[in-house]
Amino acid sequence: MKKIFLILIALGLVVSASILRGQEPTGGGSLLHDITGGAALIFRAPKDPIVHVATVVAGSLGGGKAKGRKQTKPPVRQQDNIIARANAARSAPKPRYAEAEEQYRLAAKIAPDDARAFAGLGNIFVDQGRFSDAVDSYKQALKVKPDYSAALLPLAFSLARLERYPEAIDVYQQAIKVEPTNPEIFNNLSFAYNHTNHFQDGVDASLNAIKFLGDTGQAYAQGFQERTEMLSYSYKNLGNAYNGLQRYEDAANALKRAAEIEPTNAAAHFNLGLTLYNAKRYSEAIEAYKQVVKLRPKLAQAHFNLGITYFAINDRKQAMDEYEALKSLDQNLAQQLLSFIKQ
């Protein structure tokens, strides 16, 4: 009898798709470890470097204003002026990245011991998706100032986007020492652990992220990102880690929670369906895939997996309905599904 292929597509953050080889139709499937469940890596644009402007204190010796005397502002350091111009170019309605890069490089040349200039370069590289350049710049900032916290999170994120996960883990662990209760760090650390097969560490990191978010309904105090979105990501990563440990019931429960929190995220429902299938909870898997199809009616992989799941419970009529839907979306997948149905 032919093998089943369950197909995983990652939605949201761009990651590689995987084709999952399963067992016989009535026996459930098996999962690869790297189920992302969509954009499970938190990202927030790094803030511009702080510009230090001298405080203006005007007035006479007695504290009042000098009548008839024009107040003047003390001169600002040249370095701060340059960084301010670079920041303005980056934050313009239509960012002027070439100008910002030129100014940050000038600031780095004038004051090579100023971590802000290198962090600023890293920021504009992240904005443009130039993650290798961003890594080099943030590392230079940390070389100048090892405790420069503004460079840690964007450096770790850039490393993760380059799939340099062991390095990202090291940097996130440094960041925890600076911000020990920041759920963003633990969420992304779980993502990196899952991609290096350290699934129990991934579970622990996700549980910390959930704990620090406070799964009780209050707003996320630090305001880095919408609390519900972050909480859903944390449960997705938790489910992915449980999948890696082959704890499918726990994985299904975590992904179900992710889908409940973020009901319009098709990826959460897709991964939930995939996991429920492996837990042999086929009726629930069908409901999860139906949600995906409702949210993304043209997503061929969802129709294929839904058809396979119907076939697993010997509902060939519903499986054929999915085949009919697939014919106009993906002829190859449609033929694969049909071959299972007709065997």
Instruction: Give the start-to-end residue ranges of the domains of the chain.
Output: 78-162
**Which pLDDT tens digit goes with each residue over 240-287?**
899 889 898 899 999 999 889 888 888 888 888 888 888 888 999 999
Distance of CA 62 to the CA centre of its chain: 56
CB within 8 A of 217, min separation 6: which ones? none
Alpha-helix runs per DSSP H in the chain:
78-91, 97-110, 115-127, 131-144, 152-161, 165-178, 183-194, 199-213, 227-244, 248-261, 266-278, 282-295, 300-312, 316-327, 331-341
CB 224 within 8 A of CB 209: no
pTM of the entire predicted model: 0.76
Calculate what percentage of the chain has a pLDDT beyond 90.
52
Superfamily designation of domain 78-162: Tetratricopeptide repeat domain (1.25.40.10)
Beta bridge partners of residue 108, listed in sequence order: none
Residue 274 pLDDT: 86
**Which pLDDT tens digit goes with each residue over 92-149?**
999 999 999 999 999 999 999 999 999 999 999 999 999 999 999 999 999 999 989 8
